[in-house]
Amino acid sequence: MLTNLQTRDVETLVHPYTNLDTFRSTGPLVLESGKGVWVYDSDGKAYIEGMAGLWCTALGYDNEEIVETARIQMSKMPYTHLFGAKSNDPAIELAEKLKEMAPMPVSKVFFGLSGSDANDTQVKLVWYYNNALGRPKKKKIIARLKGYHGVTVASASLTGLPNNHIDFDLPIANILHTSCPHHYRFGLEGESEEDFATRLANELEELILREGPDTVAAYIAEPVGGAGGVIVPPATYYEKIQAVLKRHDVLFIADEVICGFGRLGTPFGSTAMGMTPDTMSLAKAITSAYFPLSAVLIPEAIHQAMIDESRKIGVFGHGYTYSGHPVGAAIGVKTLEIYERDDVFGHAARMSPRFWKHLDALRDHPLVGEVRGKGLVAGLELVADKATKRAFEPRRGVGAKAMALAQEEGLILRAMGDTLALCPPLIIKEAEIDDLFDRFGRALNRAEELVRKDGLRD
């Protein structure tokens, strides 16, 4: 029986990434407040937010400094924009800080509102850049199968997940996909991770040569994959991939929307994974999700092309009403200040061994085929048969059932098919990690019991 609040929700809202048919009878979990790593529903029940929302609330749910920063900025200048050569102090300061932090040379910063629009902007800038250079055919962008880059028309095309394409008439032209770097699922029998990385680099080069290097403009990748299943490329993968890109003059775009700002224990995931990108997309933890904000870090070569096109056309015809929003930028500045002052990235790195001690203990669980991840992000893939890696039939919905059981235990996580993701706020403490895994372990045991009882392995 739905509550009045749930009924009002069902009658008014469209929920992303939700089965909109079954949802009408199940209704939503309505969350009303939060404190630290905890969130509380409309009945007052407490949950550990094991996904930091959507991989984003790095500082947890009650950071009063950020709240006060927003209040002060709203009272001073609640809104202005960057159109027509206007600006504001917070946007300038945030851009300066991002340029200083970045692990590669950055000329300029373009602000948006989400990881999706940041990657959409990347596509447009790559095309704009090559037009400015007189290379109208060099427009194709290569992403990876099971990669996730957003849901706008262009960014959803980059995303390598079927449900983001089916019946949306995607992907659009000039978007290609190469192999997923997940050794557990796609390595050949007896193939080492080193050989797997070599094979994938060769496959990328074959794709570029088949399409024609004069038509391939860029390659985009998450340091560690997120919504595709927390996929960690094997050692030497990026080294080999980058050699291919360099040979064929292909730009390397790092999608740091999830990994940026400490998730892997370093300021940027690119550093942790040995990546040297040309340009970068940021969002989520840039404001600890307290305000919608994204950023594209633009190298000098692309910025010079943008100047040339402005000279030719008379204007740079791209940007959003809320690009460089002063409240979001002020929150971004404060968030980066807190990260540095409180050594939040160092704290995340220090919590990682405790996190992984618990994860390693789950490798022998009857349901768990693989545990993968890095830093404070992990995915546990549930399988019907550990020895053969046989997956459950998708219609069984084992991952979704396990996620629901975790929620009953007071833990919020995310099921991506039969992979369960964990990505807690970076401020999580050791005792809270222990509590998280106590709840998770109970949920997994209940899921195993359900699988045996209902014969879901058949």
The full DSSP string for 392-444 is: PPGGG-HHHHHHHHHHHTTEE-EEETTEEEE---TT--HHHHHHHHHHHHHHH
The string over 216-241, giving b where at least 16 C-beta atoms fall within 10 Å of a residue's C-beta and e elsewhere, is bbbbbbbbbbbbbbbbbbbeebbebb
d(CA 103, CA 111): 18
- How many other C-beta atoms can be found within 10 angstroms of the C-beta atom of residue 456? 17
pLDDT of residue 454: 84
The whole model's pTM is what? 0.96
Residue 72 is predicted with a pLDDT of 98
pLDDT of residue 431: 98
Helix/strand/coil for 262: coil
> Looking at 283-395, which runs of residues are DSSP E strands?
294-298, 368-374, 377-382
- Tell me the domains of the chain and their CATH numbers: 4-62+343-454 (3.90.1150.10), 66-341 (3.40.640.10)
4 CB-contact burial (10 Å; exposed 0-12 / middle 13-18 / buried 19+): exposed
Q: Which residues are 175's β-sheet partners?
A: 141
Asked whether the CA dihedral 259, 262, 265, 266 is positive or negative, the reply is positive
Chain segment 350-406, per-residue pLDDT in tens: 999 999 999 999 999 999 999 999 999 999 999 999 999 999 999 999 999 999 999
Which two structure tokens, joined as six digits, stand for 36?
Answer: 């630290």
Q: Tell me, what's the pLDDT at 41?
A: 97
DSSP β-bridge partners for residue 34: 39
Give the whole-angstrom CA distance, residue 8 versus residue 267: 41
Residue ranges, the chain, pLDDT below 50 = none
Share of residues in the chain with pLDDT > 90 (%): 98
Q: What gap in Å lies between CA 34 and CA 40, rounded to an integer?
A: 6
Residue reference for tokens 């029998």:
189
CA dist 140 → 150, 163, 170, 173 (Å): 18, 22, 15, 8
CB 259 within 8 A of CB 103: no
